[in-house]
Amino acid sequence: MRSVEWDAGALKMIDQRALPWRLEFVHLETVAQVAEGIRNMTVRGAPAIGATAAFGMAIAARECAEDDMAALLVCLEQQGELLKAARPTAVNLAWGVERLLDVAHSGECKTVDELRETMLLAAQQIADDDVAINRRMGGRGAALVNKGATILHHCNTGALATVDYGTALGVIRAAHEDGKQPHVLLDETRPRLQGSRLSAWELEALGVSYAIIPDTAAGYYMREGEVDIILVGADRVAANGDIANKIGTYQLAVLAAAHDIPFYCVAPTSTIDLALPDGDAIPIEQRDPVEVTTPYGAAIVPAHFKARNPAFDITPHRYVTGIVTEQGIARPPYTDSLARAVAGYEL
Protein backbone atom coordinates (compact mmCIF):
# COMPACT_ATOMS: atom_id res chain seq x y z
CA MET A 1 0.00 0.00 0.00
CA ARG A 2 1.04 3.60 -0.51
CA SER A 3 1.88 5.72 2.50
CA VAL A 4 0.46 8.80 0.74
CA GLU A 5 -2.26 8.85 -1.94
CA TRP A 6 -5.19 10.83 -3.27
CA ASP A 7 -8.51 9.34 -2.21
CA ALA A 8 -12.01 10.66 -2.79
CA GLY A 9 -11.06 14.32 -2.89
CA ALA A 10 -8.65 14.25 0.06
CA LEU A 11 -5.07 13.29 0.86
CA LYS A 12 -5.04 9.89 2.53
CA MET A 13 -1.96 8.85 4.48
CA ILE A 14 -0.82 6.31 7.03
CA ASP A 15 -0.62 7.86 10.48
CA GLN A 16 2.93 6.85 11.33
CA ARG A 17 2.51 7.93 14.96
CA ALA A 18 0.23 4.94 15.59
CA LEU A 19 2.61 2.27 14.28
CA PRO A 20 3.53 -0.47 15.05
CA TRP A 21 0.57 -1.02 17.33
CA ARG A 22 -2.17 0.13 14.97
CA LEU A 23 -2.40 0.72 11.21
CA GLU A 24 -4.48 3.89 10.97
CA PHE A 25 -5.19 6.32 8.14
CA VAL A 26 -6.01 10.02 8.15
CA HIS A 27 -7.70 12.10 5.45
CA LEU A 28 -6.46 15.69 5.10
CA GLU A 29 -8.65 18.18 3.26
CA THR A 30 -7.04 21.58 3.90
CA VAL A 31 -3.57 23.07 3.49
CA ALA A 32 -3.44 23.75 7.23
CA GLN A 33 -4.12 20.09 7.93
CA VAL A 34 -1.41 19.00 5.50
CA ALA A 35 1.13 21.39 7.07
CA GLU A 36 0.28 20.11 10.53
CA GLY A 37 0.53 16.50 9.33
CA ILE A 38 4.08 17.24 8.19
CA ARG A 39 4.95 19.16 11.35
CA ASN A 40 3.64 16.57 13.82
CA MET A 41 5.15 13.68 11.83
CA THR A 42 1.93 11.98 10.85
CA VAL A 43 3.94 11.73 7.63
CA ARG A 44 7.74 11.69 7.65
CA GLY A 45 10.61 10.73 5.37
CA ALA A 46 11.92 13.15 2.76
CA PRO A 47 10.32 11.60 -0.38
CA ALA A 48 6.97 11.09 1.38
CA ILE A 49 7.06 14.71 2.56
CA GLY A 50 7.80 15.86 -1.00
CA ALA A 51 4.78 14.02 -2.38
CA THR A 52 2.65 15.26 0.51
CA ALA A 53 3.69 18.83 -0.23
CA ALA A 54 2.74 18.40 -3.88
CA PHE A 55 -0.69 17.10 -2.94
CA GLY A 56 -0.92 19.94 -0.43
CA MET A 57 -0.48 22.41 -3.27
CA ALA A 58 -3.18 20.61 -5.26
CA ILE A 59 -5.43 21.06 -2.24
CA ALA A 60 -4.40 24.72 -2.09
CA ALA A 61 -5.54 25.19 -5.69
CA ARG A 62 -9.00 23.96 -4.69
CA GLU A 63 -9.04 25.75 -1.34
CA CYS A 64 -8.17 29.12 -2.89
CA ALA A 65 -11.57 30.41 -3.97
CA GLU A 66 -10.32 33.01 -6.47
CA ASP A 67 -11.85 32.92 -9.95
CA ASP A 68 -9.18 35.20 -11.38
CA MET A 69 -5.95 33.49 -12.49
CA ALA A 70 -3.63 36.20 -11.14
CA ALA A 71 -5.34 36.19 -7.76
CA LEU A 72 -5.22 32.39 -7.63
CA LEU A 73 -1.46 32.43 -8.28
CA VAL A 74 -0.95 34.87 -5.40
CA CYS A 75 -2.97 32.61 -3.11
CA LEU A 76 -0.95 29.57 -4.19
CA GLU A 77 2.31 31.34 -3.39
CA GLN A 78 1.01 32.16 0.09
CA GLN A 79 -0.16 28.61 0.74
CA GLY A 80 3.16 27.29 -0.53
CA GLU A 81 5.01 29.34 2.08
CA LEU A 82 2.77 27.88 4.78
CA LEU A 83 3.66 24.36 3.68
CA LYS A 84 7.39 25.05 3.37
CA ALA A 85 7.48 26.39 6.92
CA ALA A 86 6.23 23.08 8.36
CA ARG A 87 9.74 21.53 8.65
CA PRO A 88 13.06 23.10 7.62
CA THR A 89 15.57 20.32 6.90
CA ALA A 90 14.07 18.03 4.23
CA VAL A 91 14.65 19.70 0.86
CA ASN A 92 11.92 17.56 -0.71
CA LEU A 93 9.30 19.67 1.07
CA ALA A 94 10.26 22.86 -0.77
CA TRP A 95 10.94 20.80 -3.91
CA GLY A 96 7.37 19.46 -3.95
CA VAL A 97 5.91 22.92 -3.43
CA GLU A 98 8.08 24.51 -6.11
CA ARG A 99 7.33 21.76 -8.63
CA LEU A 100 3.62 22.53 -8.33
CA LEU A 101 4.19 26.29 -8.40
CA ASP A 102 6.12 25.82 -11.64
CA VAL A 103 3.04 24.12 -13.08
CA ALA A 104 0.87 26.99 -11.87
CA HIS A 105 3.12 29.65 -13.40
CA SER A 106 3.75 27.83 -16.67
CA GLY A 107 0.91 29.65 -18.43
CA GLU A 108 -0.26 26.44 -20.08
CA CYS A 109 -3.64 26.46 -18.31
CA LYS A 110 -6.14 29.00 -19.58
CA THR A 111 -8.75 28.73 -16.82
CA VAL A 112 -8.59 28.34 -13.04
CA ASP A 113 -10.54 25.09 -13.25
CA GLU A 114 -8.06 23.69 -15.75
CA LEU A 115 -5.19 24.75 -13.49
CA ARG A 116 -6.73 23.05 -10.48
CA GLU A 117 -7.11 19.79 -12.35
CA THR A 118 -3.63 20.03 -13.85
CA MET A 119 -2.04 20.58 -10.45
CA LEU A 120 -3.70 17.47 -9.05
CA LEU A 121 -2.46 15.45 -12.03
CA ALA A 122 1.06 16.84 -11.48
CA ALA A 123 0.99 15.86 -7.81
CA GLN A 124 -0.15 12.37 -8.74
CA GLN A 125 2.69 12.13 -11.25
CA ILE A 126 5.22 13.04 -8.55
CA ALA A 127 3.83 10.26 -6.36
CA ASP A 128 3.96 7.73 -9.20
CA ASP A 129 7.47 8.81 -10.16
CA ASP A 130 8.63 8.37 -6.57
CA VAL A 131 7.66 4.69 -6.62
CA ALA A 132 9.43 4.10 -9.94
CA ILE A 133 12.54 5.98 -8.76
CA ASN A 134 12.70 3.98 -5.53
CA ARG A 135 12.54 0.71 -7.42
CA ARG A 136 15.38 1.86 -9.67
CA MET A 137 17.49 2.84 -6.66
CA GLY A 138 16.70 -0.47 -5.00
CA GLY A 139 18.00 -2.40 -7.98
CA ARG A 140 21.15 -0.30 -8.25
CA GLY A 141 21.89 -0.46 -4.54
CA ALA A 142 21.19 -4.20 -4.23
CA ALA A 143 24.34 -4.82 -6.28
CA LEU A 144 26.33 -3.54 -3.28
CA VAL A 145 24.89 -6.21 -0.97
CA ASN A 146 26.58 -9.59 -0.87
CA LYS A 147 24.57 -12.73 -0.22
CA GLY A 148 24.04 -13.26 3.50
CA ALA A 149 25.38 -9.79 4.36
CA THR A 150 24.54 -8.10 7.64
CA ILE A 151 23.40 -4.53 7.04
CA LEU A 152 23.26 -1.81 9.67
CA HIS A 153 20.39 0.61 9.08
CA HIS A 154 19.43 3.83 10.85
CA CYS A 155 15.97 5.44 11.15
CA ASN A 156 13.25 4.42 8.67
CA THR A 157 13.71 4.69 4.91
CA GLY A 158 11.18 2.20 3.62
CA ALA A 159 7.76 2.47 2.04
CA LEU A 160 6.61 4.57 5.01
CA ALA A 161 9.26 7.20 4.33
CA THR A 162 8.44 7.35 0.63
CA VAL A 163 5.27 6.91 -1.39
CA ASP A 164 6.14 3.21 -1.67
CA TYR A 165 9.09 0.76 -1.73
CA GLY A 166 11.73 2.90 0.00
CA THR A 167 15.27 4.27 -0.37
CA ALA A 168 17.83 2.53 1.88
CA LEU A 169 15.26 -0.03 3.02
CA GLY A 170 14.29 -0.26 -0.64
CA VAL A 171 17.83 -1.49 -1.36
CA ILE A 172 17.43 -4.07 1.41
CA ARG A 173 14.05 -5.06 0.01
CA ALA A 174 15.51 -5.48 -3.48
CA ALA A 175 18.38 -7.57 -2.11
CA HIS A 176 15.85 -9.74 -0.27
CA GLU A 177 13.76 -10.13 -3.42
CA ASP A 178 16.95 -11.14 -5.28
CA GLY A 179 17.38 -14.03 -2.85
CA LYS A 180 20.43 -12.56 -1.10
CA GLN A 181 18.96 -13.24 2.37
CA PRO A 182 20.32 -10.14 4.12
CA HIS A 183 20.15 -9.73 7.89
CA VAL A 184 19.48 -6.21 9.17
CA LEU A 185 20.56 -4.61 12.44
CA LEU A 186 18.09 -1.82 13.11
CA ASP A 187 19.16 1.09 15.27
CA GLU A 188 16.28 2.12 17.53
CA THR A 189 16.80 5.70 16.34
CA ARG A 190 15.93 7.67 19.41
CA PRO A 191 14.09 9.66 20.48
CA ARG A 192 11.14 8.83 18.18
CA LEU A 193 12.27 5.24 17.58
CA GLN A 194 11.70 5.16 13.83
CA GLY A 195 13.99 2.15 13.58
CA SER A 196 12.38 -0.04 16.21
CA ARG A 197 8.82 1.10 15.51
CA LEU A 198 8.68 1.59 11.75
CA SER A 199 11.59 -0.20 10.08
CA ALA A 200 11.01 -3.36 12.12
CA TRP A 201 7.30 -3.22 11.23
CA GLU A 202 8.17 -3.03 7.54
CA LEU A 203 10.82 -5.76 7.58
CA GLU A 204 8.50 -8.01 9.57
CA ALA A 205 5.86 -7.63 6.86
CA LEU A 206 8.41 -8.33 4.12
CA GLY A 207 9.87 -11.40 5.82
CA VAL A 208 13.37 -9.91 6.04
CA SER A 209 15.60 -11.11 8.89
CA TYR A 210 16.28 -8.33 11.40
CA ALA A 211 17.14 -7.49 15.00
CA ILE A 212 16.58 -4.19 16.81
CA ILE A 213 19.66 -2.90 18.63
CA PRO A 214 20.20 0.07 20.95
CA ASP A 215 21.64 3.07 19.14
CA THR A 216 24.61 2.83 21.50
CA ALA A 217 25.36 -0.78 20.43
CA ALA A 218 26.28 0.02 16.81
CA GLY A 219 29.99 0.35 17.57
CA TYR A 220 29.94 -2.93 19.49
CA TYR A 221 28.62 -4.85 16.49
CA MET A 222 31.09 -3.18 14.16
CA ARG A 223 33.99 -4.13 16.41
CA GLU A 224 32.66 -7.70 16.62
CA GLY A 225 32.83 -7.92 12.84
CA GLU A 226 29.08 -8.37 12.46
CA VAL A 227 28.44 -5.42 10.13
CA ASP A 228 29.25 -5.75 6.42
CA ILE A 229 27.73 -2.53 5.10
CA ILE A 230 25.80 0.48 6.42
CA LEU A 231 22.86 1.93 4.52
CA VAL A 232 21.11 5.19 5.47
CA GLY A 233 18.82 7.67 3.78
CA ALA A 234 19.01 11.47 3.68
CA ASP A 235 16.78 14.47 4.10
CA ARG A 236 19.14 16.71 2.16
CA VAL A 237 22.41 16.20 0.31
CA ALA A 238 24.64 19.23 -0.30
CA ALA A 239 26.55 19.75 -3.54
CA ASN A 240 29.79 18.43 -2.03
CA GLY A 241 28.19 15.20 -0.75
CA ASP A 242 27.65 16.21 2.87
CA ILE A 243 24.39 14.62 4.02
CA ALA A 244 21.76 15.67 6.53
CA ASN A 245 20.05 12.64 7.99
CA LYS A 246 18.36 11.53 11.18
CA ILE A 247 20.33 12.37 14.32
CA GLY A 248 22.87 9.65 15.02
CA THR A 249 23.94 9.14 11.42
CA TYR A 250 27.18 11.11 11.81
CA GLN A 251 28.49 8.92 14.60
CA LEU A 252 27.73 5.79 12.55
CA ALA A 253 29.75 7.16 9.65
CA VAL A 254 32.73 7.94 11.87
CA LEU A 255 32.58 4.47 13.42
CA ALA A 256 32.29 2.91 9.97
CA ALA A 257 35.46 4.68 8.87
CA ALA A 258 37.27 3.48 11.99
CA HIS A 259 36.30 -0.11 11.20
CA ASP A 260 36.75 0.08 7.40
CA ILE A 261 33.06 -0.63 6.75
CA PRO A 262 31.45 0.82 3.60
CA PHE A 263 28.91 3.56 4.39
CA TYR A 264 26.34 4.35 1.71
CA CYS A 265 23.59 6.93 1.56
CA VAL A 266 20.55 6.13 -0.60
CA ALA A 267 18.66 9.19 -1.84
CA PRO A 268 16.80 10.27 -4.99
CA THR A 269 18.08 13.26 -6.95
CA SER A 270 15.15 15.29 -5.57
CA THR A 271 16.94 15.19 -2.20
CA ILE A 272 20.17 16.64 -3.66
CA ASP A 273 20.39 20.40 -3.14
CA LEU A 274 23.07 21.73 -5.47
CA ALA A 275 22.31 25.27 -4.29
CA LEU A 276 23.99 24.49 -0.97
CA PRO A 277 27.78 24.13 -1.24
CA ASP A 278 28.20 22.02 1.91
CA GLY A 279 26.47 20.69 4.99
CA ASP A 280 27.12 23.81 7.05
CA ALA A 281 24.43 25.54 4.98
CA ILE A 282 21.75 22.94 5.78
CA PRO A 283 19.27 24.10 8.46
CA ILE A 284 18.89 21.63 11.33
CA GLU A 285 15.45 21.27 12.85
CA GLN A 286 15.33 21.60 16.64
CA ARG A 287 12.30 19.70 17.89
CA ASP A 288 10.43 19.86 21.20
CA PRO A 289 12.58 18.44 24.05
CA VAL A 290 9.48 16.65 25.33
CA GLU A 291 10.18 14.00 22.65
CA VAL A 292 13.32 13.17 24.66
CA THR A 293 11.95 13.42 28.19
CA THR A 294 8.46 12.05 27.53
CA PRO A 295 8.58 9.86 24.41
CA TYR A 296 5.08 9.04 23.20
CA GLY A 297 3.57 10.41 26.39
CA ALA A 298 5.53 8.20 28.80
CA ALA A 299 7.71 10.32 31.08
CA ILE A 300 11.16 8.83 31.74
CA VAL A 301 12.46 11.77 33.82
CA PRO A 302 10.82 14.51 35.91
CA ALA A 303 9.19 17.24 33.83
CA HIS A 304 11.64 19.94 34.96
CA PHE A 305 14.73 18.08 33.69
CA LYS A 306 16.35 19.92 30.77
CA ALA A 307 16.85 18.34 27.34
CA ARG A 308 17.83 19.25 23.80
CA ASN A 309 16.50 17.60 20.65
CA PRO A 310 18.18 18.17 17.27
CA ALA A 311 16.31 16.09 14.69
CA PHE A 312 19.20 15.72 12.23
CA ASP A 313 22.97 15.85 12.01
CA ILE A 314 25.45 16.43 9.18
CA THR A 315 27.75 13.68 7.94
CA PRO A 316 30.77 15.10 6.06
CA HIS A 317 31.27 13.67 2.61
CA ARG A 318 34.69 12.25 3.49
CA TYR A 319 32.91 9.52 5.48
CA VAL A 320 30.50 8.61 2.67
CA THR A 321 31.59 5.73 0.43
CA GLY A 322 28.94 6.47 -2.16
CA ILE A 323 25.46 7.92 -2.68
CA VAL A 324 22.97 5.65 -4.42
CA THR A 325 20.58 7.57 -6.69
CA GLU A 326 18.16 6.53 -9.41
CA GLN A 327 20.87 7.55 -11.90
CA GLY A 328 23.46 5.24 -10.38
CA ILE A 329 25.98 5.42 -7.56
CA ALA A 330 27.64 8.80 -7.09
CA ARG A 331 31.21 8.62 -5.84
CA PRO A 332 33.86 11.23 -4.99
CA PRO A 333 34.37 13.88 -6.13
CA TYR A 334 30.70 14.46 -5.34
CA THR A 335 30.62 17.96 -6.78
CA ASP A 336 30.97 16.30 -10.18
CA SER A 337 29.00 13.06 -9.78
CA LEU A 338 26.01 14.60 -7.97
CA ALA A 339 25.74 17.39 -10.53
CA ARG A 340 25.69 14.78 -13.29
CA ALA A 341 23.03 12.75 -11.51
CA VAL A 342 20.78 15.80 -11.02
CA ALA A 343 21.26 16.68 -14.70
CA GLY A 344 19.91 13.24 -15.61
CA TYR A 345 23.11 11.52 -16.68
CA GLU A 346 23.72 7.86 -15.91
CA LEU A 347 26.55 7.34 -13.43
Catalytic residue positions, numbered: 235
How many whole angstroms separate alpha carbon 158 and alpha carbon 206? 11
Do residues 28 and 43 make contact, with C-beta atoms less than 8 angstroms apart? no
Spell out where 94-216 has E strands: 150-153, 183-187, 209-213
Distance CA 199, CA 186 (A): 7
Strand partners, 52: none
The b-or-e profile of 183-220 (16+ CB within 10 A means b, else e) is: ebbbbbbbbbbbbbbbbbbbbeebebebebbebeebbe
Q: How far apart are CA 129 and CA 126, in angstroms?
A: 5
Residues facing 151 on adjacent strands: 184, 229
